[in-house]
Structures are given as structure tokens and as C-alpha cells.
Chain A
Amino acid sequence: MSPRRRPATVTGNSLEPLLATKEIVIFCGSGGVGKTSTAAAAGVAAATRLGGKVLVLTIDPARRLASALGLEGFGNLEKRVPDEALRAAGLEPRGELWAAMLDTKRSWDDLVLRHAPNEETAYRILENRLYTNITGRFVQSHDYIAMERLYDVHTTGKYDLIIIDTPPTRSAIDFLEAPKRMAEFFGGRLLRWLTLPYRVGGRRGARVLTAASRPFYQLADRILGSQFLQDIAEFFLNFQSMYDGFVERAQAVERLLHDRRTAFTVVTTLEGAPLREAQFFCEELVARKFNLGALVLNKTLPGYFLEPEGDEAAETLCSDADGIADAVAATGIAELGDGARNARVLRTVGDSFKNFAVVARREAELKAVLSDAPEAVVTIPNFEVDIHDVSGLARIGDYLFAA
């Protein structure tokens, strides 16, 4: 274990205490807020400033970010980010940085192979056409499998800190429910009831319908056709053979998410919709007794837009552009010889400031309404370039660790 520098209390405007004390930090938030980059930056910062063995488990990184972390191609393989890559970005590694990408299909296959009672059943499931469809398309399956994979990696005990970025979901809350829902789904009375005629009559045998289920099957036959229904039933019958292992596992995953060693970090921009989602998510986490560790406000405008001096200067540059343009022209700098052009540029500069200031004030106001925010709130500015390399991640890291 590497030295950990601070006590376990989380306060202020830094992620450092969180990253130094927790074993799992889950980054969540709505799409497009910069979740993946922030999570990766936290990993880089932890490995270079705190030390230990750090894994960044990412779902769907931008291609250039993925290659910056050495994640070419697919597969669940964890790969070490070479120290040279960190040094090239001016960072001195204190620990090890590892990265892995989530391969949904592969993770599901692993899960089936692990829990199926025998090989024959496992392969019958893997070859079922509904199975491929479900694992590929079923939105909820991504939610579940990400958490399942997290559990899997955590139990190997290989890492001091695992940072995971969550899949894009319809609602940020979905993946929290996923383990429970999966367990309920496969253990549900409805499912048993639905597959009953197939169990009683054997896989290909005649269906023995109870009085309760008969109207349903008659209706379902008319709508879907009996063959389709039989395909579904067969699939779930096979899946049910894994029920015990599966539920046990889902419960373990849920326990891990609730464990005090796990903390959540909500990432958001200061725009209306993502912020509403973030606020809702913070409230839900607290209500469900998860550990809400920190809030990251990403892509914010610089603070100078809120200073009155800036406003005054912008105003003067616009209203007094001609006079100032002449004064500037007198410097003798060659490019400033044309007074009319100087005035035009000064007005543009002033107007642009006033435009952005409107947005900055809106951001500040939205920030103020965040009522249920955790104690640690970190602000990251809008960088003029997109972050897609390690030195960019290091820049974000500077803000994540701001003292």
C-alpha cells in the first residue's frame, strides 16, 4: 500500500481526500458533461500525486482519449499505462496507472459461463438468438454489467483504487437499480408463471395451461405467435438455471455499491438540463444511503466574467472605441496603425465579453441553487481545447486537486 496522506473526512474543493481514502469512486452524470475525461483525469491524478495501484475502468471513451490511455481495440483486458506516457506529460508517477474498457458482450458471456450449472446449458444460452439480442440491445444490461464488472475487478484485490465511469443511461439513476432489478427479473413470479407451461410440458412438449395463465397465452399467441413465445420461454428457462448464483452475485454487487469504501462523484455542467439531472441524482443517492462524495462542476466559464471591473471595461471599450482606438494607434505598433480597424476590434472584444458574461451569470445563479450538494464541490473551467491526451488530463487534475 502506498502512503495515504489525509484523514477520511471530505471537505472543501478537492477530490484528493476522496481519492486517497476510498477504494471505489464512481463517476456519474448525464451525457455530454465530460464524465469520462473527468474520471480518467482523477485516475491520472491519483496515480501521480497519491500513488498506489489505480485502475480507470471506462465505458465508452473518445477514441483519442482511449489511445492516450493505451486502450486500442476492445476486450476487458486491463492494461498498464506506461510511466513514459505520464512522464511525457510532465508527470512523475508515484504509483501505477491501469486502464480498461468495458466490453459488454464479453462480460455477459463470462457471467453466463460462470453461473450456468453445466457447460451444455451455458452454450445453449450463448447460442440463443434472444441472448445475443438482449445483451447487445437491452439498455439495462449495460447498466448491470458495468457494476458486475466493477465487483469482479474489486474482488481480485489487485487495486488500491478503482475509478469507474458509468454508462450513458436514460436516467442517471438506472444503474443503481440494475443489480436489484436483474435479481428481481430472473427470480420474478411473473417469469416463473410465464415459463410454467414449458416447464411442465418439457421443452418441446405439450403445454399444460392453468386456468390462470390460459387467457394470457391465448392472447399472446394471437399477438406474437406461439413460436416466439416458446423461444422466449426456452431462453428464460435456461437462464433460470443460473438463478441462485446470479441473485447472490447481484446482491453482492449491491452491497459493494453501498459499502463505505465506495463513493460517488456526480459530474455536471452548469446548463439547465444536466444540472437538474445532477441535482436529482444527488438527492437520490442520499435518499438511498449511497455515499455521495463530491460534485464536479465541469466546463464552467472563468471567474473574471463575474467581476464588475470586466463589465465596466467592456462597456467602455464599446462606447469609447474610437477614442481608445486612436490612443492605441499612437503606440507605433505596426498592426495598430489603422484607427477604424482598432475601433472595430475593440467593440468586438467588448461585445464578446458581455455575451459570455450573460452565460457566466446564468451559470453562477444555477450553481447557487444546488441545495443538496455534497461537501466537496470541484470546479473545472472550460478549456479552450478538447482534452484528449495525458497532459490534458493532468490539467483537469490540477483543478480536481485544488487546495
Chain B
Amino acid sequence: MRPAPDLLARRLLFFTGKGGVGKSTVAAATALLAAERGQRVLVVEADDKGNLPRHFEAAPVGFQPREVYPGVHVMAMRTEDSLKEYLRLNLRVPVLSRLGPLARALEFVATAAPGVKEILTVGKVCWEVRESIEGRADWDLVVVDAAATGHIIGQLDAPRGIKELVSVGMVRQQTDWMVELLSDPAITALNVVATPEEMPVQETIELVERAKAELAVPLGLVLVNRVLPELFTRPDEETFEALREPEATKILDEQAGPGATSVLEAARLAVSLRRTRVAYLSELREAVELPLVYLPYLFVRDQGVRVTKMVAEELGQELGL
């Protein structure tokens, strides 16, 4: 299946994945790609670590979005701030000082009651998207560096969960439009980032199955990150194996110096690393009926905006942009 070329035509992109697979990098790269194509992008860092701006060589951000790259704004989700904003917008509670203890009490309920924290995250995200659609905010695209595979279902299902728990009240009324927005395939897509390794592939397969069964949110792409290059064609690999015969190695040592053995050893490592990972890739391809996008392993010395740009470029090519 070919990748959905309309990824950037949607309004709201969630990125999830097992910890350590480069979820934030891919989210940042998607934002950068969209921005370079003239879109105004808001990136929401759902876990409040404030580290996402690193991908743009910028200082950490708070709840207020800040432009970290031309066309890319980043905000860190703080549920307490999200709650305050919600109260301010919906109840018009006039005095901010009175809001403090009230918000703290509600924050406490939020910590205790299931789904409340999640709804404050997803609610804020949906709100930004709706404001943009209705012309009151000017994001063309909202990219969410969302919860990891273990928690994403709870996060995205929060509006529905709250609806079940809360039978009356303002919150309930407001979950309806959120559910609608989150389940519209023209607007929203949930994308999964993986690496070609055992656990990330396994978690991706399980998540896609669960998301199909339990979520109304449409699935987008599976992005496979850090794919190692194929070094040799089959005939070339035979030649490589022959080079490791003692007779040949002796000549290489004479001609290229004593490091030649290590260089051959390194190539063998690269070949077998690639081979193990290819097996996981096939497993993923077979189990998941979603468009797969491959992003190469980058042999670079740093992890900043240069990497974000490189990943964005690869992503653009894969998406046919």
C-alpha cells in the first residue's frame, strides 16, 4: 500500500510509539516539513517535558506556544494551565486569585478521576483545531507528540470515557464535538512511529489492532525510523564473504593497513544488524494494513535541527512531496 499523500492535508496529527523510537523527532520533522511548505504549525508536546524545542535548537517552552522555527510553534501541555484556560473561557470566572485554589482543587480531582487529565490534554488540542477551522486561530496543522503506545488509547479515548462516566454537566456536552472532530478522517490521523526491532514492532502491531477495535480515531501511517541501509546486492555479498577468506584478508592488510580486519568486521556487523531488522520489517508489513513509511538510520554527529531537517527531507520524499 502506498503512503497516504494527504497526510499534511489533515488538521490534526497524533504521533505515538514505544519509548525511544524517535517519536518526538518524527513529530518535529513532520512539523518542519509542513512549515517549509508554507503551513502554520502548532506542535503540542503532550508529556510536559518541554524538550521538543531541542529538535529546533530552541529553549524549552511552556503552555504558551512559542515560535521555535519559522512557521513552527511549540507548546508543552500542562493540564493545570489547560484547566485554568478552560475555566476562564467557559465560566468567565473573573478574579484570577480566586481561580487559584479552585483550579488546584479541580486539578486534584483531575489527578484522581480517570480520564480527566487526558481530557484536559485532548480537549485543548481539539479546541485549537476547532478554533483554526472556524477562523479564530490560524494553525493549518496541529501536530501532537502524544503519549507512548501504552497510554495513547486512554488519551485519545478520554472524551468517550468521560461521556460514559459523567451523565450531566458542561463537560459532557463538550465531549460531543471532540469525538466528532477526532473521528473525522479528513481532519485527524493517529500515526505510529516504530523502529525495526522486536518490542517496537510488537507494540505497533498490538496498538494498531487495539486502535481499530477501541478507537474512533482514524489511523494514518506507520513510520519506521532508523532503517539501516542494505549494503550489498546478493552477488556483491558473495564477493564480500570471499574477501573475509584468510588469503584475501592478508592482501587487504598489506594494502590498506592493519585496520582492514576491523573494517571487514564492521561491515559484517552492519550486514547482520540489517538482516535482523529486515525480519521485523516483514513481520510489521504482514500484520499491519497501513501505509508504511521508511526513514533511514542517520549517520550524523548531532541530534539537533540538522537531524530534524534530514528526517523531514526523507519524510517528504517518502510522502511523494
Contact = CB atoms under 8 A, between A and B. Distances in A.
Chain B associates with chain A: yes
A183 interface: no
Contacts of B51: 273, 276
A312 B242 contact: no
Given A222-B91, A356-B270, A358-B299, A194 B248 contact: no
A188 B107 CA distance: 13
A386 B267 contact: no
A317 B263 contact: yes
Contacts of A138: 114
A231 B168 CA distance: 13
A272 interface: yes
A358 B300 contact: yes
A218 B61 CA distance: 34
A313 B301 contact: no
Contact of B299 (A188, A269, A271, A355): A355
Contact of A336 (B49, B114, B243): B243
Contacts of A129: 165
Given A32-B20, A310-B263, A171 B49 contact: yes
B186 interface: no
B302 interface: yes
A313 B260 contact: yes
Contacts of A346: 243
B6 interface: no
A134 B114 contact: yes
Interface string A152-172: 000000000000000010110
A388 B93 CA distance: 57
B236 interface: yes
Given A317-B260, A348-B231, A361-B301, A356 B266 contact: yes
A314 interface: yes
A264 interface: no
B59 interface: no
Interface string A318-344: 001001100110010111101001101
B241 interface: yes
A228 B166 contact: yes
A304 B265 contact: yes
A304 B54 CA distance: 31
A38 to B, nearest CB: 13
Contacts of B105: 190, 193-194, 216, 220
Interface in B95-129: 98, 102, 104-106, 108-109, 111-115
Contacts of B231: 348-349, 352
A224 B256 contact: no
A337 to B, nearest CB: 9
Contact of B236 (A133, A171, A348): A348
Interface in B160-208: 161, 165-172, 195, 197-200, 202
A202 interface: no
B35 to A, nearest CB: 22
A139 B121 CA distance: 15
B259 A328 contact: no
A224 B171 contact: yes
Nearest to B51: A273
B114 A384 contact: no
A273 B18 CA distance: 14
Nearest to A361: B301
Interface string B27-67: 00000000000000000000111010010000000000000
Most interface-central of A226, A344, A355 (chain B CB within 10 A): A355
A70 interface: no
Interface string A346-370: 1011101101101101100000000
Contacts of B241: 335
A269 to B, nearest CB: 8
B262 interface: yes
A336 B115 contact: no
Contacts of B310: none
A310 B266 contact: yes
B169 A223 contact: yes
B251 interface: yes
A352 B231 CA distance: 8
A377 to B, nearest CB: 20
Given A314-B259, A386-B276, 6 more contacts: A62-B202, A309-B262, A349-B263, A384-B269, A384-B276, A385-B272
Interface of B: 18-21, 24, 47-49, 51, 54, 87, 90-91, 93, 98, 102, 104-106, 108-109, 111-115, 148, 150-151, 154, 161, 165-172, 195, 197-200, 202, 231-232, 235-236, 238-243, 245, 247-248, 251-252, 255-260, 262-267, 269-270, 272-273, 276, 299-303
23 contacts: A31-B18, A32-B20, A130-B113, A133-B165, A220-B105, A220-B109, A224-B166, A225-B168, A225-B172, A228-B113, A228-B165, A231-B165, A273-B20, A313-B259, A317-B263, A324-B252, A335-B242, A336-B242, A345-B232, A345-B243, A349-B240, A349-B263, A349-B264
Q: Which 6 A-B pairs rank lowest in CB-CB distance, beginning with the nearest?
A: A31-B19, A32-B20, A225-B169, A309-B259, A313-B259, A133-B114
